[in-house]
Amino acid sequence: MAKSIPIPSNKKLVLEKGDKIYQPGISVDCVILGFHENELKVLLLKVEQRNQWALPGGFIKKNEPIENAAYRVLQERTGVQDIFLQQFNVFGAPDRSDASIHQNRYLEYGIKIPKDNWLLQRFITIGFYALIDFSEVNLRTIVSDETAEWIDMNKLSNLMMDHAEIVQKALDTLRNQLAYLPIGKNLLPKKFTMPELQKLYETILNEKLDRRNFQRKLLSFGILNRLTETKKGGAHKAAYLYTFNEKKYQKALKEGLYGSW
């Protein structure tokens, strides 16, 4: 058995009384995708005792709405709040929750979990995701042996359980939604150029887009206002600045856009 060290009070509560507080067999996981200055990252947690990364996730309290649980868990584990979370998938493979993971985590504190403990049961998890400007977020963790960090999407490795699959599914969902929902209002400056908007789409899609087709398509949606002023200081011809048309943008969020990239 591992050397006995004091077990954090939050883990002790989950171990001993968790099945009285939480709904056994079900959890939530949050994929928070962050974009800033042409970089796409995902918010992950690093547990000090283990050389692995995990999504911010947790259990659902009994009589707690699932959506409320996602917001609570995200805030408790990372400090992130006041964002819009969207449910995107359920993950329920029989082998997705490895009982040995829970056993090993508690063994590090000198605690052996009984075989009939609720933590060793099969778990399904409900995935939620959001796309935000990560420069606007102040991270904090209340769990003593965890740290929250933004990790480049192209450098993900050593994720726990099926969390790599969950991240990829969230990214695929976001890419599919680009065809019929507007994005960018909370990710770009109030005034931006068409190349800056195109770079946002290219970063998320991970592919190059034809400049003329992109501009023609975005303008056809009617969600942009072109300003008379241009962006100064560039090496090339000054590009016109745009803003989002608030009324039409909100309408497009409700009714959708049509087309594909």
Extents of the domains making up the chain: 10-177, 192-255
pLDDT digits (tens, 9 = 90+) for 105-123: 655 555 566 666 777 778 8
- The token pair at 231 is 């962006």
Instruction: Classify 12 in phi/psi space as left (phi over 0), alpha (psi -120 to 50) or beta.
Output: alpha
Same fold, 10-177 and 192-255: no
What are the distances in angstroms from CA 79 to CA 47, 74, 148? 16, 7, 9
pLDDT digits (tens, 9 = 90+) for 206-259: 999 999 999 999 999 999 999 999 887 665 678 899 999 999 999 999 999 865
204 half-sphere exposure, CB direction, 13 A CA radius? 26
Q: Residues 160, 100: contact at Cβ < 8 Å? A: no
- The token pair at 88 is 């995107």
pLDDT digits (tens, 9 = 90+) for 157-211: 989 889 999 999 999 999 999 989 999 998 999 999 999 999 999 999 999 999 9
Q: What phi, psi does 225 have (nearest 5°)?
A: -110, 120
Q: Tell me which DSSP letter residue 8 carries.
A: P
Kindly give the pairing relationship between strand 22-36 and strand 124-132: parallel
In CATH, what is the architecture of 10-177? Answer: Alpha-Beta Complex (3.90)
The domain made up of 192-255 is a member of CATH 1.10.3720.10 = no
What are the distances in angstroms from CA 240 to CA 96, 206, 213, 228? 50, 25, 17, 7
Q: CB neighbours (10 Å) of residue 135?
A: 11
What pLDDT shows up at residue 1? 35
Only one residue has tokens 């599914």, namely 169
Predicted TM-score (pTM) of the model is: 0.84
DSSP string, 154-165: GG---BSTTHHH
